[in-house]
Amino acid sequence: MSAGKSRARARSRRWPLVLLGDGVLLLLALTGSGFSLLTAYGLGADPRLLLGGCVLFALLSLTAFSLPRFRWAALLVLLEAAALGVWQMWGDLTTGARCVQYQLAEVLSNGAWTPPAEAAGLLEEGAWAETCFLLAVLALLALLLGWAVVRLRSHWLVLALTCPLLVPAFLVNRLPAWPAFLSLLVCWCALYLTSLSARADARAGARLTLAAVPALAAAFGLLTLALPRETYVYPQWARQAQTALRTADWGMVLPDFLPSFFSGAGSSAVIDLAGAGPLRYSGRTVLRVETDVPGWTYFRGRSAGVYTGDTWVDLDEEVYQELGELPGGYEPLNFPALTDPDGDWHAVTVENLGAPGGCLYLPYYLLTDADEVTGAAFVEDAYLARGLGTWRHTLYYRPDAGPWWDMTRLTATVAVAERAYQEFVYEHYRDVPEGFRDTLTEWVERALQTVTEEDLWPDDEMESLLRVNERYRDTLVQARAVRAMLAATTEYDPDAAAMPAGADFVDYFLNESHRGYCMHYASAGALILRAFGIPTRYVSGFAATVPESGRLDITDENAHAWVELYLPGYGWYPVEMTPGYSAPSAAPVEESAQPTPTPGAEPQPTPTPSAGPTAAPEPSTTPSAGDGPEGAGGGDSAGEGADLRWVPGLLLAAVLLAALVRWGVRLRRRRVLEGPDTNRAVLAAYRELLRLAPWGGREDPEVTRLAQKARFSPHVLTGAERRTALERLRREARRTAEALPAWKRLLFRLFRGRW
């Protein structure tokens, strides 16, 4: 056997020692990552199953990337198996993702994030689902690490794949278990120390790896004993990152597996006023609505009651603990609908296709109460939290239950509950920042010089004001006057720049910039009305005009902010503060269109709507599963299986990506072979000739001689010598291909190509 052919076979062969070294590194990286995540974030996955999965995935990845041929075929088989596993376990995966989301939110916010009502039960019962989700993540990570360790031998890529997952935990002083993190440290350092020797001589690199791993483990163990971790002091940038993590909207830690791409427009737990720069929208559909009530409609998301100067946030948890449960179990969001007990009820179905906030977007005058809602849960007095994996909800509401002159006063237990909540509202929803009244005085003096009586009392609004109950007329007149004064002193500008660092958002808007959009007007209106003694809070969501067909798609361009006033004996009432605001037209849905099935959620029973926990009106027709939207009481889902239309597209994208990478390699190879450097071209031809050996290729003595001359001789090869080497390479490639079976010849053309 010739020397060249022997070297070719040696390079293509994965020696047992090399496999052992690569396997040890791959297993260290994978188990270190998995158990670091498990312990740093306090996840509830089963450690034994996690360890077994790490071993299995490491072996599969090592095998696939160590094959001398057909590696791409093996990887495609693994991808197909992964897609089948996702299909079969979609429900467990989505449940596990939500459990992990809640746990991450609790850990990274250091208790500052308030979990929805469903979180406690999920975290107690979701160990299996968390295990499934983490195994799915580790399976993907195993493929990436196999490529980085076995094929590229890149310590930088391994570091990039494993380290970012743990950075947030480090910033909030949540360290993983030391043995798990020690595995990662040993892997990183061993790869760094052995990468060069392994590329030059695989077996020598494997021997060095197997010697370095125990030595590094011992060295880090001694360092641990010598340098206790308790003495570490965080730098300033890390402390700032901790603050940012704890004030983030952890309802959106994960993308929530929505059926469309995530959109940032909508509602969130923390309203970041400091970052309110020019408005930018994608035009993506975020909500799909079905109702039989046409006309202008607010779809409220979350409300916020505490203004800090650069944010709006929820009231503190301690404040709600003082309130406790209202008598009769009533929810404040139901009060307005209960003032119209004989009014018509209507159903509305809202499907979330990408709106953030973890909340259910719903119209006002909600009739569905806490006992009837499914797939969602009331969170204090602020919003409805959307249930796990449920994106389509059907609720009941009374759109005519406004604070009108003929409204019915609340009585019995519901009146007692409203009075208890009213005291809470007047105590906590009238606060303004210190010094704001001085700011307000300056603005009012300027506003009174510009606003006219016609601005305050336009004819087109007088009729609606006369319809309002006399008890609330003065309050709504004051709100209308504030909006008119804002219109007279400011200008609506969707391109308004963000406020300067350290400034107060409302003060800067009223007395300096005088330019803004809904966030500015809602924030300013809420504080001004509070200064007048009216309980008010900031609300964000979407606003749209429902067409006569009752079906429409709401895009992120319909995102909006407004204020809610509390009217004693009635409840929270929405008031528009943005002068002349008109929401962009939402796209009506064609009559033939059907709602997108919701993966992973089972149909819910249909409860009968009621005015409250103690009384149930008798509609003319009781809704049922056969004559209305499924799950009319709450979160329903159409369809029983996961929507896997993305799987073929994902596989096709993987194949196309592989083809593009291969095409780039071929293009680079051709440039080298035909480039101006003849010595480099001949050496490249020799390497390509060696790569034919696994397919049955033979060494060409003339190419070997020319390669040795190019490598060791001081002379520059001539163009004729390069053409000789390329011609002999092409001749041997043709001969090799013709000797292969038809199916193998196709693979040869795919992976080796032409020169």
List the single range of 301-305, 335-339, 649-653 with lowest mean pLDDT.
649-653
Residue 561, SS3 per DSSP: strand
Q: What is the dihedral of CA 220, 224, 229, 235, to 10 degrees?
A: -30
Interval 443-485: pLDDT, tens: 888 887 777 766 666 655 666 777 888 899 889 888 988 998 8
The predicted structure's pLDDT at residue 185: 87
Q: What percent of the chain has pLDDT over 70?
A: 74
Q: Which residue has the tokens 């467990």?
A: 92
The answer to whether residue 251 scores a pLDDT higher than 60 is no
Across the range 221-238, mean pLDDT stands at 58
Q: Do the Cβ atoms of 301 and 383 come closer than 8 Å?
A: yes
**pLDDT confidence band for 698 (50 / 70 / 90):** confident
DSSP β-bridge partners for residue 560 = 541
Spacing of C-alpha 684 from chain mean position: 46
pLDDT for residue 619: 35
CA distances from 592 to 295, 585, 595 (A): 22, 20, 10
User: Which SS3 state, helix, strand or coil, does residue 123 take?
Assistant: helix
Supply the pLDDT for residue 535: 95
Angle of CA points 714, 720, 725, to nearest 5°: 80
pLDDT higher for 207 or 237? Answer: 207
pLDDT of residue 424: 94
Please check the confidence at residue 179 and state whether its pLDDT lies above 80: yes
Residue 130 confidence class, pLDDT cut points 50, 70, 90: confident
Distances (CA, A) of 745 to 531, 695, 741: 82, 9, 6
pLDDT of residue 536: 96
From CA 180, how far away is CA 184, in angstroms rounded?
7
Write the pLDDT tens digit of every residue in 612-656.
333 333 333 333 333 333 333 333 333 333 344 444 544 555 555
Q: Domain segments of the chain: what residues?
A: 11-237, 271-636, 646-751
H-run or E-run covering 552: strand 551-555
The candidate with the shortest Cα–Cα distance to 708, out of 7, 196, 205, is: 7
- Rounded CA separation 170/158 (Å): 19
* CB contact set of 454 (below 8 Å; sequence gap of 6+): none
Q: Which two tokens stand for residue 174?
A: 């949540």
3-state helix, strand, coil in the chain (%, to 5): 50, 10, 35
Q: For the chain, give the percent of residues with pLDDT over 90.
A: 20
For 64, 266, 383, 413, 544, the CA distances from 358, given in Å and listed in that order, are: 40, 10, 10, 31, 20
**Average pLDDT of the residues of the chain:** 76
Mean pLDDT of 500-528: 91
pLDDT at 133: 87
Q: What is the pLDDT of residue 279?
A: 84
Q: Among 374, 361, 362, 369, which residue's Cα sits nearest to residue 338?
A: 369
Query: Is 496's pLDDT higher than 60?
Result: yes
Whole-number pLDDT of residue 524: 93
15-29, 376-390, 538-552, 616-630: which range is least confident on average? 616-630
Residues making up the chain, counted from first to last: 755
Question: CA 203, CA 189: separation in Å to the nearest integer?
Answer: 19
Maximum Cα interatomic distance, the chain, rounded to a whole number of Å? 105
State yes or no: pLDDT of 329 exceeds 50: yes
> For residue 456, what pLDDT is reported?
65
- In sequence order, the β-bridge partners of residue 536 are 565
Q: What is the pLDDT of residues 547-560, one digit of tens each?
A: 999 899 998 889 99
pLDDT level of residue 389 (50, 70, 90 thresholds): low
The pLDDT of residue 423 is 94
498: left (phi over 0), alpha (psi -120 to 50) or beta: beta
Whether 173 shows a pLDDT value over 80: the answer reads: no
The pLDDT of residue 363: 93
DSSP string, 229-243: GGG----HHHHHHHH
Q: How far is CA 19 from CA 15, 23, 188, 239, in A?
A: 6, 6, 18, 43
Does the pLDDT at position 13 exceed 70?
A: no
pLDDT classification of 505: cutoffs 50, 70, 90: very high
Q: Which of 197-201, 242-246, 736-740 has the lowest mean pLDDT?
A: 242-246
Q: What is the pLDDT of residues 66-108, one digit of tens each?
A: 887 777 788 888 888 888 888 777 777 877 787 787 777 767 6
Selection from 563, 565, 577 nearest residue 492 by Cα = 577
Of 219-228, 368-377, 553-562, highest mean pLDDT? 553-562
pLDDT value, residue 695: 78
Average pLDDT over every residue of 132-143? 89
Write out the two tokens for 490.
């400011």
pLDDT value for 714: 82
Please tell me the predicted confidence (pLDDT) of residue 633.
Answer: 37
Q: Supply the pLDDT for residue 395.
A: 92
Q: What is the mean pLDDT of residues 713-734?
A: 86
Residue 117 has pLDDT above 70, yes or no: no
Place 593 in a pLDDT band, splitting at 50, 70 and 90. very low
